[in-house]
Amino acid sequence: MTPSDQSQPSPMVEMTRLKQIIDRLRSPGGCPWDLAQTADSLRPYLLEEAHEAAEAISSGDPERICEELGDLLMNIHLQARIGEESGAFTLENIARDISEKLIRRHPHVFADGVAEDAEAVRRAWDQIKIQEKGDVNQHSPTIRTLPASLPALARADRIGKMAAEVGFDWPALAGPRDKLNEELAELDEAVSEGNRKAIHHEIGDLLFAASSIARKLEIDPEQALNDSLERFRHRFTYIDEQLGDAVRADLEQLEEWYQQGKNREEEATDGS
């Protein structure tokens, strides 16, 4: 251990400190806001912090990643404290259960199991999971259950990859590209008929086909869409500058300003 290592506190010291802070916030005489929270009322904050942590990871900024993971960890500690107060579970229970699960589902590391590659690990994980639930005679379903709160585009990407694992996939990019054209034609037909139910159906199919193109190109469609929305937001700030105190402008003028904002953005990128 180097002198610099010795100057750093043990990770568990800070984890213990965090738990003590959360305990005090939730104790009599603590913070009124924290005391008023329930597991359900904190659920939106947990989801928000998870998304912010994912966004920080995409940014590649270590300081931002550290900060957002800290916010996420705080929410986990709060949920654990609420569980402890009700007698349902404790932070120790959470750590113990996930530790035991990781050991059970990695027999190639902690026992005499064998897994030659990542795909073999995934298959073994799914089979062990089924055995744990008592369904020893059931095969792992191709389309595995995903969290309902997972963004739809990310869900589409994951489901497409699951189907591809058993060969349900186009051999080349031309396949999903043709599928996209097919879905566009079906959407046009639904629109021309004024069939709202069919329009809803075809828009869903169109987005799923678009996610398949991204998958074949090994692009994360959720991140690609988020990046596109951020570019649009950034370019629209130029439109806001040109609008000034005006409330609206005609579409032709707005499009011209948008292209100017886009050009300014590209020039700044080229110059960096």
Mean pLDDT on 224-247: 92
Q: Where are the alpha helices (DSSP H) in 10-61?
A: 11-25, 32-36, 39-59
What's CA 150's distance to the chain center, in Å?
6
Confidence grade of residue 212 (pLDDT, cut at 50, 70, 90):
very high
Structure tokens given for 241: 């500058």
What's CA 257's distance to the chain center, in Å?
33
On the question of pLDDT at 138 being above 60, the answer is yes
CA distance 130 to 186: 40
Least confident of 38-47, 93-102, 144-153, 212-221: 144-153
Confidence grade of residue 145 (pLDDT, cut at 50, 70, 90):
confident
Mean pLDDT for the chain? 91
On the question of pLDDT at 140 being above 80, the answer is no
SS3 for 246? Answer: coil
CATH of 11-98, one of 1.10.287.1080, 3.40.50.11540, 1.10.10.10, 1.10.1660.10: 1.10.287.1080
pLDDT of residue 206: 97
Superfamily of segment(s) 152-219: MazG-like (1.10.287.1080)
pLDDT of residue 8: 64
pLDDT of residue 4: 46
On the question of pLDDT at 5 being above 60, the answer is no
CA distance 252 to 254: 5
CA distance 214 to 232: 20
Q: How many CA atoms lie within 13 A of 155 on its CB side?
A: 11
Q: What percent of the chain has a predicted confidence (pLDDT) above 90?
A: 75
On the question of pLDDT at 137 being above 80, the answer is no
pLDDT of residue 11: 67
pLDDT of residue 1: 41
Domain locations in the chain as residue ranges: 11-98, 105-132, 152-219, 223-271
Answer for the pair 11, 70: CB distance below 8 angstroms, yes or no.
no
**pTM, 2 dp:** 0.69
Query: At 108, which helix (H) or strand (E)?
Result: helix 107-110
On the question of pLDDT at 272 being above 90, the answer is no
Mean pLDDT on 17-33: 97
Q: Do domains 11-98 and 152-219 have the same CATH topology?
A: yes
Answer for the pair 214, 221: CB distance below 8 angstroms, yes or no.
yes
pLDDT of residue 12: 85
Mean pLDDT on 215-239: 93
> 68, 98, 82, 99: which is closest to 39 by C-alpha?
82
